[in-house]
Structure 1
Amino acid sequence: MFTGIVEELGEVTAVEKLGDASRFRLRGPVVTEGARHGDSIAVNGVCLTVVDLGGHEFTADVMAETLNRSSLGALTTGSRVNLERPMALGGRLGGHIVQGHVDGTGRVLERTPSEHWEIVKVSLPEALSRYVVEKGSITVDGVSLTVVDAGADFFTISLIPTTLALTTLGFKQPGDPVNLEVDVLAKYVERMLGPNAAAQHREPSA
């Protein structure tokens, strides 16, 4: 379980293609401190398992399902990535409940800078739009953020200087893909409302 509070901006140091999978080597001095084989580390919001460790770097295997559902398949040597270790039991929940299970990808549509912050508009897959609401929570590339505006196929977020400086969202440009994880509480509520809840949302009333 994660909180969406990025601990450091890491770097991909190697990518090995393994047919229907890839093995990434990533550098992250903060997240590798005290890490062990089998631990979890979120990479751009995707929960990955540590395979090997050494020299402030760790390796992780990424299967086809994850490559297809997330933007990790676009990473190359030198790519910068957001890194976060799991929340410690009893720790502060600084963001919101993040599982590290990417629901889909969006693309940066627009960036509107202002004096002290920046508004970023991101495309939203139709299947996820019902889970995104104004002032609700969403995870973008592993960063816990508050939705400013929610449309049928987009949402906007406001990025403060710290987020711009310390995460990948500071240099993502229009057209760049981002990983999206919606608030899991919204999905549980939909499930508890019954099997017709999602269908009623998708189908226009007669």
Structure 2
Amino acid sequence: MLNMGAVLVLLIGVTDGVKTFCNATQPYITTQCFGSLGGTVEVHLPAQSSQNDTYALKKNNVLIAKPSAIITDTRYSFNVSTGIFTIKDVKRSDNGTYSMVIHNVGGIEIANVTWFLSIQGLVPIIAGSLSAMALLLIVALGIYCAKKKSKSSKDTTEAEEVTYADISVLQQQGQQREQRESEVEYGQVKVAPGLRQTLETKLDDCVLSAPKDEESCKHSE
């Protein structure tokens, strides 16, 4: 199965040309790797867990490196301790399917990886790199917009809460004012009958009094 997700990370150098990296440590799958003409490719492979382990590195099923053999192509190098396979001054003939198998001292297979190396001109690689950068920019912009929208929503909620609190205070003040006005009106209504009763009492006393007191009643009125 071709694994397009474990592709490479590109680093463009000024003097050393283009260096590409590929992670091919996942077993039993074919990892897609890329390289540019004249550049350098570093393929990360499983490292040996013991000095007694043996490995066999092949290109298109042809052995190109093993512990007891010297690599004839000087452009190739393999670091056993780090598991990094390097190809310098990449040529178009470096296209192909590569594989590495590691066995322990008992002859048991402990690693088996495969990768396909595709050599391109520099333009497609740069285009792919720019596309990745554009995707990252879109993701970053989306995160920024989401945070800004969340902050705006929070500010709106806080403003609504403040407005509601102001309205509640105004309503409470209005109710208190209405209550005071009602108490004043009630007090006026309560006092008025008392005054009316006093006047009526005086008038009745004058009517029932003797005629001799009529003049005094008039004066009292």
Q: TM bucket by the smaller chain?
A: under 0.3
Q: If the length of structure 1 is used for normalisation, what is the TM-score?
A: 0.22
Q: If the length of structure 2 is used for normalisation, what is the TM-score?
A: 0.21
Question: Normalized per residue, which structure has more helix?
Answer: 2
Question: Normalized per residue, which structure has more strand?
Answer: 1
Larger Rg: 2
